[in-house]
Structure 1
């Protein structure tokens, strides 16, 4: 159809890479592609490092679920938990390659969406803006603040100061800023200027509630046949998740259960060593990476899902995608952390909050594992809440309306006058 808008999404990660970042962009792109042409620019599959073969192709194109995916060459770290020296080429070379691609194709591009973190995706966005193309920055978290809070970089280092200036430039230049939670939108304005508030739009994370759905032979049904209870964690094994207390909680648990990690990440080796040191090999399993299509099965095999976030002010806006996925499958969730994730679990009625402490996590798990009927009630309430509020098809419709409005297709949005920016 010749009159369809053409959008370009720029993302550092895209399936078959795992994690909430990749799945968010994939689901948004696929649903928006129902009414528009969508091209995703991403580097070769890389994350977690070492799980994918190195690619030397300048550009590779594939068409998946109605979306054109352009893999633009970038350096691929091959070691677990790569340091800054290995990460920077991965981020910067992809950003430069994507910027050049947009220069070459800007006449056929109606709007650009860049996903951050990393903040380097702002470079192709700035190029798009300079060429007059409407630009949306999709902010998933405040990467710089998180890096400082997690001890990756010093708060007053030249790198942090330069990163903040660049991020501020990108946000003040963009036509719209989409955020995954309302509290993240407030944090963006507090950090980079209250004037940005008029540009912020709430496009939450969500879940495909048709694919992530309860299964007849779910974890509760299986356990009626005598199997061990399963507590599942899906996704990134990273520094923002307090996974060590979750492992230690299994040593305090009264019920016969196993904690199953489905995913990979920078912390996996350390967590495996901890499990061995605590002699918990019979209570903690590391499944590793699985195909996206297999994730609902692993969730449905479980009695309870874990969605832990570190209890810090910097992560108070964080909302893990896995929590939506657990509840969509009718599996109740135990969360840790403050702010958004705690408000979500209270509003959904689909689980409970625990402090970041092995005893508290174990107590929350034991309470759920001891009451199958109550557990099913929590799962049903959570499923209903997610279907009503967080189905990704509806969320994508909101993004599609925002983008089409920016390019003048329906008048719903009009690009604001870009502010003069001082670097």
Structure 2
């Protein structure tokens, strides 16, 4: 690890909020903070909307797991699936508040990492760069392209054009660009300039393999055989119930399933009400459960209670680089996974040997689930292979060490290296 440095991470979401983006920044911050001072700037907890009380305090400071967290006030949507007009104040006000904080405290940190999406977190990053501070932009997905692909905005709208220009400015100004998958790095270079490839570094999502581990290693119990109140095998989905995940076909697959099992959704999101209505309409209330949000500490138990994990992604070229964090968590717990989508997630499940890929179709999903539910020994083999792969390649501590090394080199603590010359955005 490096000598101690002072880092600020800027993220639109942070625990107790749920989801892969919040857990990624939290786990990276906590592990990097073992040898450094790490401060996180985030708005008041507010996602999914309606699950947290609205805060009116300008700033609230707390300490979590060795990390100082400043909750900077922003507008907090309170309705499920808020529209663009409700989301924009949430994004913009936090970005402005974080920008002011960084400017006022610019002598108290050595480097800044901003997490995107949303792209508005680039605003405080640009301010840090203008003040001469090394800046890393952590890209989890191409938010603009996803919004177009999912039908949120029109591809030809002025808003999309302005957003692309701003995203380009951010990427060309940042000293380094970290991406969660190598295919995402390639997509960034393809869309915003081949020269950016020299700045891109692969810092994948990962999992704390000491927390997410097979049930037998924690309690000696048998995994995936249901609870005392329901002996049917469980198919678990953890995380965001959003539009990028084809969850409707997964629910419909339960009507096609030959095995007697229950699909359990652990999480919340913009699509929850619609999915609950669909479940009721299809008469699948006895086969589909909605648990809602749970504490992060309770997630491993929900996974190890399951026979199979479900990690669906829409089959779209714009999402070919996506890699759900929940996939690492399932395999770390020794639970085989069924995935949908193309590109990165399909490649991962093949390389890891930890599960099956299915087309985004209820019959295909049901067939993949049936094949695993009917073969307990096969499930154990896939789960063991997946666990081994994740421990070797995606342990969160090792990934955080990689980020720490990148940041410290920018600061110059390791070898006196200087930050690369920033380039103006290309037209």
Same fold (TM over 0.5): yes
SS in 1 for 2:7: strand
- Segments of 4+ moved more than 6 angstroms: 223-226
Aligned partner of 1:129 in structure 2 is: 129
Q: 1:369 maps to what in 2?
A: 373
Alignment partner, residue 38 of structure 1: 38
1:413–1:209 Cα change, 3 Å: farther
2:393 corresponds in structure 1 to 389
Q: Note if 1:286 corresponds to 2:286.
A: no
Map 1:15-414 → 2, pairs under 5 A: 15-216=15-216, 217-220=221-224, 222=226, 227-411=231-415, 414=418
How many residues of Structure 1 are paired with residues of Structure 2 in the alignment?
421
Is 2:134–2:175's contact at 8 Å kept on the other side of the alignment?
yes
Is the 2:225–2:232 Cα contact (8 Å) retained in structure 1? Answer: no
Unaligned runs of 5+ residues in structure 2 are none
Q: Distance in 2 between matches of 1:384 and 1:67?
A: 30
Instruction: Decide which moves more: 226-235 or 89-98.
Output: 226-235
TM-fit CA distance, 1:317: 0.1
| Cα distance in structure 2, aligned partners of 1:371 and 1:186 | 38
Q: Judging changes above 3 Å, is the alpha-carbon distance between structure 1 residues 412 and 359 closer, same or farther for their aligned structure 2 residues? A: farther
Q: Distance in 2 between matches of 1:379 and 1:422?
A: 46
> Helix, strand or coil for the counterpart of 1:63?
strand
Q: Is the 8 A contact 1:218 1:302 kept in 2?
A: no
Contact 2:224 2:308 in 1 (8 A): no
**Cα offset for 1:109?**
1.1
Structure 2 length-normalised TM: 0.97
Q: Which residue of 2 aligns with 1:7?
A: 7
Q: Kindly indicate whether the alpha-carbon contact (under 8 Å) linking 1:401 and 1:412 is maintained by their aligned counterparts in 2.
A: no
In the alignment, the residues of structure 2 paired with residue 72 and residue 97 of structure 1 have an alpha-carbon distance, to the nearest angstrom, of 6
Contact 2:179 2:204 in 1 (8 A): yes
Measured in 1, the distance between the counterparts of 2:189 and 2:130 equals: 23
Deviation string for 1:282-320 (max 9, x for gaps)?
000000000000000000000000000000000000000
Residues of 1 paired with 2:88 and 2:323: CA distance?
Answer: 26
Going from structure 1 to structure 2, the CA distance change for 1:346 and 1:224 (only over 3 Å counts) comes to: farther
| Alpha-carbon distance, 1:420 to partner | 2.7
1:336-370 deviation line (CA, Å, top 9, x unaligned):
00000000000000001000000000000000000
1:260-289 deviations in Å (ceiling 9; x for gaps): 000000000000000000000000000000
Per-residue deviation, 1:412: 7.9
1:217-276, Cα deviation, whole Å (9 max, x unpaired):
243355899810100000000000000000000000001100000000000000000000
